[in-house]
Homo-oligomer: A and B are copies of this chain.
Amino acid sequence: MAVRSRLTTAKVVDAALELVDEQGVEGLTLAAVAARTGVATPSLYKHVASLAELRGHVGVRVLEEMTDRFTQTVLGLSGDAAVEALMHAYRAYVKENPKRYAIAPMDPLHDELQQAAGRKLIEVMFATLRGYGLEGSDAVHATRRLRVIVHGFASIESGGGFGLPEGLDDTYDQLVRMYLTDLRGQR
């Protein structure tokens, strides 16, 4: 008979991600993960060093998921069309997975475990801006501005920070246009 397949770090992270989706960041607890994976709480330490490290792993998963999705979105596009698609994909992801986005680390570059995933995500944005002829630090600034807009909006929207959802699509379109115009002006 099939042995109840043994636990692995990946499966622990899977369960953690499910819990985050269902109950938010607060609901991610070792006890809950243990219950879900059918194991005693201390057994998790065979696969994960601590709750903090588990959070880190979950964060990496989210970053990778975002990177994959945005890469697909932007493939074959360039210029304004690419930027526009990227920005809308970013918002769509956060709208679909608000709880996941909330556990994505703000400073992935400062964490050994998350560094690679964070770098790749930013690289997608950076690459999307190729073709605008930005050189050196101009490209860095443009990437930062893009991050600010995209994360600022997603963070406020997913946190329920806009009083009424009325006209939010319009607000976002305006932000996209603002950024594109700005990009053109920089040239």
Binds B, one of A14-22, A35-43, A53-61, A160-168: A160-168
Chain B proximity of A132: nearest CB distance (Å):
14
The 8 Å CB contact of A181, one of B107, B122, B185, is B185
Q: Does A171 contact B (CB under 8 A)?
A: yes
Binds B, one of A2-10, A64-72, A76-84, A138-146: A138-146
The 8 Å CB contact of A149, one of B152, B159, B161, B185, is B152
Q: Does A85 contact B (CB under 8 A)?
A: no
Mark each residue of chain A from 146 to 187: 1 if its CB lies under 8 Å from any CB of chain B, else 0: 011111110110011111001100110011001101100100
Size of interface on A: residues with Cβ below 8 Å to B: 35
In contact, B147 and A156 (Cβ under 8 angstroms): yes
The 8 Å CB contact of A156, one of B110, B151, B181, is B151
Tell me the complex Cα distance, A121–B162, Å.
13
Chain B proximity of A24: nearest CB distance (Å):
13
Number of copies of chain A assembled together: 2
- Chain B residue numbers with a CB within 8 Å of A160 are 106-107, 110
Quick one: given A148-B149, A152-B152, are A171 and B141 in contact (CB under 8 Å)?
yes
Task: Give residues 92-113 of A contacting B (CB, 8 Å).
Answer: 106-107, 109-110
The 8 Å CB contact of A152, one of B137, B153, B167, B185, is B153
In contact, A174 and B141 (Cβ under 8 angstroms): yes
Chain B proximity of A144: nearest CB distance (Å):
5
In the A-B complex, list the 8 residue pairs whose CB atoms are closest, starting with the nearest: A152-B152, A106-B159, A107-B160, A148-B152, A178-B182, A106-B161, A144-B171, A148-B153
